[in-house]
Amino acid sequence: MSYSYARINLEKTDYNIFINTKAGMILGELIHWPCSTQLNKIYYKYCNYHKFNSVMPIFKSEYQDNDIHGYYQQGKLIAFSMIGTYDDENAECYQFAWDYETPKLQLGIASLKHECAYYKARGYKYLYIGGADEYKEQIDGFEIMSPVNWIDSRWTIDGFERIQSNKS
């Protein structure tokens, strides 16, 4: 798939705020006073696991200025998501990272479902999720941006459409 942007239409989701993965229960909650040192250690492990050639650092102010959702296994913080809110209807997932000490958790998808439930419960309509990566297609309400729509020389937000899956 070429690089396209995606969002989740939260009205089309029905996820639970609780996270139960194949490898056990995970607690997801908003971190009100995030510790940048602790979160950066998780981010470091995440980047090393994926063998990224180059990454943008996450600054302390970013942790303070956005919603940070922490994910805990047996009381230990193992992952986080950084989500920015634009207004009362739109939020965007800026960064997700986890330590991958238990890869079978498949925490990327589990955390995204939790975040859908969290923001839907607060009245948001859309959760923007960056690139339209194939693994994200399994999330209910997944929509990709169609080619730019121009009306009266303006781009319109109505350019999102449900992706047509090639899976049988």
Which amino acid is located at 84 in the chain? G
> Is the distance from CB of 93 to CB of 83 less than 8 angstroms?
yes
Whether the predicted pLDDT of 151 surpasses 70: no
Alpha carbon distances (Å) from 16 to 39, 52, 83: 25, 32, 18
| Half-sphere exposure of residue 46: CA atoms within 13 angstroms, side-chain side | 20
Identify the CATH class of 5-162.
alpha beta
Question: Model pTM?
Answer: 0.83
36-91 pLDDT, tens digit each? 999 999 999 999 999 998 889 999 999 999 999 999 988 899 999 999 999 999 99
Stronger pLDDT, 117 or 148, i.e. the higher one: 117
Structure tokens at 110: 């589990």
Residue with tokens 């923007």: 128
Beta-carbon contacts of 111 under 8 Å, excluding residues fewer than 6 positions away, are 19, 28, 69, 71, 79, 81, 96, 98
CA 99 to chain centre: 16
Q: Is 95 exposed, middle or buried (0-12, 13-18, 19+ CB in 10 A)?
A: buried
Residue 150: the pLDDT is: 45
Which amino acid is located at 96 in the chain? F
* Residue spans per domain, the chain: 5-162
> Is the distance from CB of 133 to CB of 142 less than 8 angstroms?
no
Least confident window among 55-64, 85-94, 106-115, 145-154: 145-154
39-50 pLDDT, tens digit each? 999 999 999 999
Alpha carbon distances (Å) from 98 to 16, 102, 161: 21, 10, 30
Rounded to an integer, the average pLDDT of 109-134 is: 93
Mean pLDDT of the chain: 85
Least confident window among 49-53, 93-97, 117-121, 144-148: 144-148
> Is the distance from CB of 81 to CB of 108 less than 8 angstroms?
no
**Rounded CA separation 98/43 (Å):** 7
